[in-house]
Chains A and B, each alone.
Chain A
């Protein structure tokens, strides 16, 4: 969270809405530990990361959907066993759970 504070503050100052995605669970081999944070603003600008780059694109889409109100805040999971493994899975074979929410707190 700390490393993306400057981006959050800049976006807030410019009147942007912000979504926060945080790794809240890792099973097996995962690239980032719980707490790894990525933030996305309503224009799709991104700071930080939640993986080694494997699932960032999907998390940005989820964050934008949460900001748009088409998805509820909640946990999205990515992993080898996922149906979408070939699309956005982790190449390392682990599973990560990412909590995505608007910064409205």
Chain B
């Protein structure tokens, strides 16, 4: 017996594989479904092969941008008609947060990142610090150099993903930033004082990183909310990630001056 659409969707969600579920919410076939996944044929039908074809195409597009929306069609998939309403729900894999540096702020940021739904990776070259026991909430704990790790996963990072560099150590954070700025990650932040960052900018220029790329770095990391503890700093970082994504004018430490801690 073949799996039902629900079972196929359930398995995709559990495996964190992308899927889009199209459901007719108004029209002649209310409740009819089409499950659309990358690289495999759609499963199910909305009641008409032409409608299925058009909706599958639209669903793949929605899935790529992680959008969930209701679209309207004619009964055979015609555009600009409103006989059929189709709710296309995208189940994109969770966004990723890659944290470089297994320091005392890291555990709090892992927790906050999990609350926001990120798949969180902690990466540190020092095996004694990068242990699963220290970061039980992380999805992955990687013992590697930042540039080497980014060479492996960098091409997977996109606008929904965040890279947070907490190493505080130029020998790790400059290669981490050079690697991160070479990805399409929507958020790149680096911890450290304003003086540390001025020094870091000089090192990034020496590494021939362009000025536009350097401007992408949110540093000092986080919103200017007077965060003191690791937990407060984690919230300031996560709030900055949200604000950058939504484009709302929240005061980033990068754009203010004065003391970082309240």
Measured CB to CB, the residues of A under 8 A from B are 1-2, 5, 8-9, 22, 24-25, 33-35, 72-75, 97, 99, 101, 103, 105
Contact = CB atoms under 8 A, between A and B. Distances in A.
Contacts of B30: 72-74
Contact of B10 (A5, A25, A72, A101): A5
Given A1-B91, A34-B87, A75-B25, 15 more contacts: A1-B13, A1-B89, A5-B10, A8-B10, A9-B10, A24-B25, A24-B87, A34-B68, A34-B69, A34-B70, A73-B30, A74-B25, A97-B25, A105-B4, A105-B31
A24 B6 contact: no
Contact of B31 (A24, A34, A97, A101): A101
Interface in B63-102: 68-70, 87, 89-91
A63 B91 CA distance: 23
A99 B9 contact: no
Contacts of A72: 30
Contacts, number: 50
Contacts of A2: 13, 91
Interface string B216-247: 00000000000000000000000000000000
A31 B69 CA distance: 16
Interface residues of B, number: 21
A103 B89 CA distance: 16
A105 B22 CA distance: 12
Contacts of B9: 1
A35 B89 CA distance: 6
Contact of B14 (A5, A22, A24, A75): A5
A78 to B, nearest CB: 15
Interface in B2-38: 4-6, 9-10, 13-14, 23, 25-26, 30-31, 33
A105 B6 contact: yes
Nearest to A12: B6
> Which one of A1, A33, A35, A105 has the greatest number of beta carbons of chain B within 10 Å?
A105
Interface in B151-168: none
Nearest to A24: B87
Contacts of A74: 25-26, 30
B164 to A, nearest CB: 24
B87 A103 contact: no
Contact of A99 (B6, B69, B87): B87
B243 to A, nearest CB: 18
8 contacts: A5-B14, A24-B87, A34-B89, A35-B68, A73-B30, A73-B31, A75-B25, A101-B23
B6 A103 contact: yes
Contacts of A75: 25-26
Contacts of B14: 5
> Which one of A9, A33, A34, A73 has the greatest number of beta carbons of chain B within 10 Å?
A34
B206 to A, nearest CB: 44
A25 B70 contact: yes
